[in-house]
Amino acid sequence: MKKTTVDCHAEFSIELVLAVPYAYWLYENGLLEKTVSAIDSKPMYYFSPSHQEKYEHRTVDNAEAGLNSLPNNYIHHNKNFSNGQMGILDFSKWSVPPFKEHYKNDTFVFDKPLCVVSNKYAMEWGDPPVNFIDIETLYHLFDYLKEKYTVVYKRPKNTDYVIDQNESFSVGDIQANVDGYGLINDYDLAREMGVLVFRDLLEEHEEMSYNEFQFNLFANCDNYISVQGGNSHICALFGKTNINYIVRGREKTPGFYDGWYKRLNGCETIGVHTYEDLINKTKELY
């Protein structure tokens, strides 16, 4: 039987949900010839018999990205399903690689269990940042979590990885005045409160690419707090529990997390829509 090449450089999270599970299904069935994607995509396709990092950028254009050659070309529902239910894909040729098991390691082991707070601060739908955790809420989360967990704070900048058109504009840091600290940004707040910063840890592991480091770190973590978007997909892929903050987006649709989200790793993703609910749900579950 003729083997297939999967060639895709869509938005990172969309590729992770639509292209990678198709490629892995092909691999499991002896039908995968090779995979082609963007720079630093090898960790996503670790199982591929031949992988090429061809593209220096990602794109939101479905045709250019190669999505139209996949069984699923849209992340929120499949056109073949008449009910259009959010989060439902054609799962007949869709199998998620065992990322957590593959990347489990002895490098990122700490005295306390890991908890990752995965934030973002970026343009959304052409507008200023909407879905992000502010300084005051971060303060409360760090203060509560650090006694029980080794907390890692992640907020990538658009210079950290291969970007798409949505990520081409830098909007600066999250910052505010905090009693005892003065005007402070989120990275420095984390450092001052004894929370590990993802970018600081990355600098200590120059032998790893951004995604190699991310996958190895996340493989040893079960508990996540994230915000709507690509980072919540990655957290669901590696976590057992993920509290996802969202004020705008399709993820607010009831039942959305029962679709492909849950199939990523069986992770229980809980959506919250206010900072107060985020803090309360964190205290309830963590």
Q: What's the per-residue H, E or C state across 48-90?
A: CCCEEEEECCCCCCHHHHCHHHCCCCCCCECCCCCCCCCCECC
Same domain, 76 and 129: no
Same domain, 26 and 74: yes
Q: How far apart are CA 135 and CA 8, in angstroms?
A: 36
104: in domain: no
106: in domain: no
Same domain, 189 and 79: no
pLDDT at 168: 47
CA geometry: angle at 161 spanning 239 and 190, to 5°? 60
pLDDT at 170: 61
Q: Which two tokens stand for residue 275?
A: 């900072």
Closest CA to 40 of 156, 209, 221, 269: 209
Start-to-end Cα distance in the chain: 49
CATH (domain of 173): 3.40.50
For residue 224, give its domain range: 114-285
> Please, what are the averages of pLDDT over each run of 10 residues along the chain (286 residues)?
93 92 98 97 97 90 88 72 64 96 97 96 76 96 98 83 50 86 94 97 95 97 93 93 90 80 91 96 98
**CB-based contact 141:282 (threshold 8 Å):** yes
pLDDT at 150: 98
Q: What are phi and psi of 98, to 5 degrees?
A: -80, 70
pLDDT at 28: 98
Strand ranges inside 1-155, DSSP E: 4-7, 32-38, 51-55, 114-118, 150-154
H or E element that contains 26: helix 20-28
pLDDT at 165: 45
- The number of folded domains in the chain is 2
